Amino acid sequence: VFRTNSQKKGERDRVRAALLRAALQLGAAHGFASLGLREVARAAGIAPTSFYRHFADMQELGIALSSELVARTIAEVCDAIRTPTNALGEVVWDAMFAACVRDPELTRFLSAERAGASPELRADLQRQLSVLAQALSAAAATDATLPEKPPAWAAEAAVVLLTDACARALDEQPEQRAALRDGCTWAIDRLLSGAVSPSSKRTSRSTPEVSS
C-alpha cells in the first residue's frame, strides 16, 4: 500500500543479495572456484533451481560480485583520495584497508579472483582496479608536494601492492598489520614521488628512463 510497485521487485533484490553474500561467505572459506550452485543456493535459503532466476551460472554471479560490490568499494576509496589529507600512500592505504576490514570476504574474493581461473572475471576485476589506479594517478598529478608527475604505471604498481598487502594484512595480527602498512605506504609514496627519504641524490643509470 505504501509502495504501489515493486513489492515483488524488492523481494527479488533481497534474494539476489542473499545469493551474493552467501557466495562471498562460502568462497572466503573454501575458495570461489570450487563453489557450487547448489551450495550457494542452500546457504541463501532457496531451492537450487531458483538460482537460475537470478544468474545463468556461477561465473555470472562472480561478475556481479565484481561489478557491483567490488566496484562500490573501489568507488569509496576513490572518493577518499580525491581530497588527500596526508601523504597519498597513507591516505589510500587507510581508505582501502578500512574497506577491507569492513568486508574481509569481499577482499578475499578480490585478491583470489584477480588471478583466478575465469578470464572474464579477471578482466572485470582488473577494470575495477584500474579505476582506482587512475584516481590515484590523478591525485598524484595534482599533489603539489610531489616533485614531478609520476608515470601512469607508478599508480598501477601502487594498486597492485596495495591490493596484495591489504589482503595479506587481514590474516595478520595487529603488529604485523602495522608493518605491512608501513611497508606498503612507503612503497606507494616512493613509487609516486620518487624518494621519500632524503639523501637519494644519485640518479642511477641504465633503467629504461635514462637520466639526462
Partner DNA sequence: TGTACATCAGTGAACGCGCGTTCACTGATGTAC
What residues line the site for DNA (CB under 7 A)? 3-9, 11-12, 15, 36-39, 42, 46-54, 57-58
Which residues, at least 6 apart from 200, have a Cβ–Cβ distance to it below 8 Å? 194
- Cα 90 vs. chain centroid, distance in angstroms? 16
Binding residues (CB under 8 A) for a second copy: these are: 30-34, 86-87, 89-90, 111-112, 114-118, 123, 126-127, 130, 133-134, 145-149, 151-154, 156-157, 160-161, 164, 167, 179, 182-187, 189-191, 193-212
* Phi–psi pair at 115, nearest 5 degrees: -120, 20
Number of neighbours of residue 90 by Cβ within 10 angstroms: 18
Torsion angle defined by CA atoms of residues 116, 117, 121 and 125, in that order, rounded to the nearest 10 degrees: 20
**Residue 170 interaction partner, one of a second copy, DNA, none, beta carbon < 5-8 Å per kind:** none
Please, what is the angle between helix 174-193 and helix 88-102, to 10°? Answer: 140
Q: Which is nearer to a second copy, 41 or 167 (CB)?
A: 167
**Residue 36 interaction partner, one of a second copy, DNA, none, beta carbon < 5-8 Å per kind:** DNA
CB of 123 to DNA, least distance (A): 21
**Residue 15 interaction partner, one of DNA, a second copy, none, beta carbon < 5-8 Å per kind:** DNA
**Residue 117 interaction partner, one of DNA, a second copy, none, beta carbon < 5-8 Å per kind:** a second copy
Separation of alpha carbons 152 and 148, rounded Å: 12
CB of 41 to DNA, least distance (A): 8
